[in-house]
């Protein structure tokens, strides 16, 4: 089969930094496909390659990478795309067209119209199948997500639509399911009988001024909470599926999302220098902290605390599962530490289990120690990047790492209150946490892990 990835937005930063390296790595591993990059920035392939492709890529990838100067506003654009596709198809008898939209959702309707026009013109003595790939955030709210989905369904069936949340391609996400469902010792304590609270912490050091025009329309809720955070919550709290198939996994994820009420216990802020470089006042949230509950039999009563945002002192991406400390109470010893599971995502993937062991040269005093799994140390440093796994699944036709439309709709429903206009924003100093982060922990009587 001849596979052709038609890369809309082929001169963007996401494609340059993530997708082209992923395509190169997959071709090195034996996958065979051609990429046709579309963009307006460069007039010819030579300029495109010089600016967009690292010199270390393989010759095999370069041989399979083509470029077409493409302006969607040009009335002749679809004719140019059709002609180039016909050249690539040549005399192949089985073709798969993969339309990858690294574009703003507001462009979907025009893109679908152009794709339909091209599809209707392609002629060959061959069997043609197709897929379409769209990036997060899928829409800007529940209403727009439903509208964009209707647009996609005009040209593709739901089976042919791949909605990307690249966090599902990360090893730590897939390891959550293996950790929970392939280990009896974990399975038996992973519920509200044992867990006191769950914390999800995503602190980023960079700001958004370099992409302010885009981020001003997005904000922290659309950037990470509606997609990444909600997917993490489902992986942490879903029931064990009958099998690890796309359909069974999604069924359990939807059950979790449907059990979560819209988030009302939240606080948001923006860092103090936001927009300063452009002398533009921006009222877009760049940090949020909130609490939610999963109201299923196994997890009701466990508060899930989340904090995430930009311009922090150091990067922290982790999940902390705190277990109830009944031993401390039973033994009347406040020095006995809690048990916990720490899943560190950045700067490196590791899983720590915190337990207590006897401290040497003491009279039965315990000390907390960590038993650690480190991804790089155990499996090597060359674990595939998230986008490599995502693209591989697309090529293989495996939708297990892609949220369904039902998951996306439920996620939007949950964050609706956080999208309202005129929500008060705390202005917090760059490289410092907003005060509401500590305020949430003081109010609820818990301590942030980090």
Out of 135, 153, 185, a domain closes at 135
Q: Does one domain contain both 117 and 255?
A: no
Q: What is the pTM of this model?
A: 0.94
24 lies in a domain? yes
Residue 346 pLDDT: 81
402 lies in a domain? yes
Give how many domains the chain has, as a whole number.
2
Calpha distance 250→383 (Å, rounded): 25
Domain ranges, residue 231: 168-444
146 lies in a domain? no
Q: Does one domain contain both 174 and 125?
A: no
What does each C-alpha distance from 404 to 13, 328, 408 come to in angstroms? 26, 44, 6
220 lies in a domain? yes
**Residue 116 burial class via C-beta count within 10 angstroms: exposed 0-12, middle 13-18, buried 19 and up:** middle
Give the residue from 17, 31, 8 showing the smallest Cα distance to 391.
31
Residue whose tokens read 């899943």: 343
CATH number assigned to the domain comprising residue 121: 3.40.50.720
CATH number assigned to the domain comprising residue 389: 3.30.360.10
Out of 90, 117, 135, a domain closes at 135
401 lies in a domain? yes
Q: Does one domain contain both 102 and 247?
A: no
Calpha distance 249→181 (Å, rounded): 12
CB distance 18 to 113 below 8 Å: no
Q: Does one domain contain both 235 and 373?
A: yes
353 lies in a domain? yes
Calpha distance 112→23 (Å, rounded): 24
**Residue 112 burial class via C-beta count within 10 angstroms: exposed 0-12, middle 13-18, buried 19 and up:** buried
Q: Does one domain contain both 413 and 295?
A: yes
81 lies in a domain? yes
pLDDT along the chain (450 residues), means of 10: 96 95 97 97 95 95 97 94 94 94 90 92 85 94 95 94 95 91 95 98 94 90 97 97 92 98 98 90 96 98 98 96 93 90 90 94 91 89 85 96 97 97 96 98 97
Q: Does one domain contain both 117 and 185?
A: no
């Amino acid at each position: 089969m001849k596979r052709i990835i038609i890369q809309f937005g082929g001169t963007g930063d996401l494609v340059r930094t993530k997708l082209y390296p992923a395509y190169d790595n997959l071709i090195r591993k034996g996958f065979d496909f051609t990429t046709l990059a579309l963009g307006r920035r460069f007039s010819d392939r030579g300029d495109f390659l010089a600016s967009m492709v690292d010199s270390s890529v393989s010759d095999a990838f370069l041989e399979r990478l083509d470029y077409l100067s493409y302006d969607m506003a040009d009335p002749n654009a679809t004719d140019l795309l059709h002609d180039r596709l016909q050249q690539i198809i040549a005399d192949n008898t089985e073709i798969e067209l993969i339309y990858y939209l690294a574009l703003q959702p507001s462009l979907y309707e025009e893109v679908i119209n152009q794709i339909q026009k091209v599809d209707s013109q392609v002629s060959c003595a061959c069997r043609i199948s197709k897929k379409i790939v769209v990036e997060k955030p899928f829409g800007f709210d529940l209403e727009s997500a439903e509208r964009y989905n209707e647009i996609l369904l005009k040209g593709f069936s739901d089976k042919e639509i791949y909605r990307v949340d690249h966090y599902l391609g990360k090893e730590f996400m897939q390891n959550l399911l293996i950790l929970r469902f392939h280990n009896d010792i974990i399975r038996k304590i992973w519920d509200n009988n044992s867990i006191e609270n769950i914390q999800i912490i995503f602190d980023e050091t960079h700001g958004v001024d370099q992409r302010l025009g885009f981020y001003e329309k997005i904000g922290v809720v659309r950037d990470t909470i509606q997609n990444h955070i909600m997917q993490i919550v489902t992986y942490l709290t879903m029931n064990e599926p009958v099998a690890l198939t796309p359909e069974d996994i999604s069924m359990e994820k939807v059950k979790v999302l449907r059990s979560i009420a819209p988030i009302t216990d939240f606080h948001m802020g923006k860092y103090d220098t936001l927009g300063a470089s452009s002398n533009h006042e921006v009222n877009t949230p760049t940090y949020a902290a909130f609490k939610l509950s999963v109201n299923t039999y196994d997890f009701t009563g466990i508060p899930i605390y989340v904090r995430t945002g930009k311009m922090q002192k150091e990067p922290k991406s982790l999940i902390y599962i705190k277990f109830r400390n009944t031993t401390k109470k039973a033994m009347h010893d406040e020095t006995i530490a809690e048990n916990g599971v720490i899943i560190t995502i950045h700067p490196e993937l590791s899983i720590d289990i915190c337990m207590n062991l006897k401290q040497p040269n003491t009279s039965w005093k315990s000390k907390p120690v960590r038993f650690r799994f480190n991804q790089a140390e155990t499996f090597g440093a060359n674990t595939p990047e998230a986008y490599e796994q995502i693209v591989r699944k697309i090529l293989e036709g495996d939708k297990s790492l892609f949220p369904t439309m039902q998951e996306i709709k439920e996620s939007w429903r949950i964050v609706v209150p956080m999208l309202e206009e005129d929500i008060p924003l705390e202005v917090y100093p760059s490289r410092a946490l907003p005060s509401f982060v500590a305020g949430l922990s003081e109010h609820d009587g818990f301590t942030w892990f980090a």
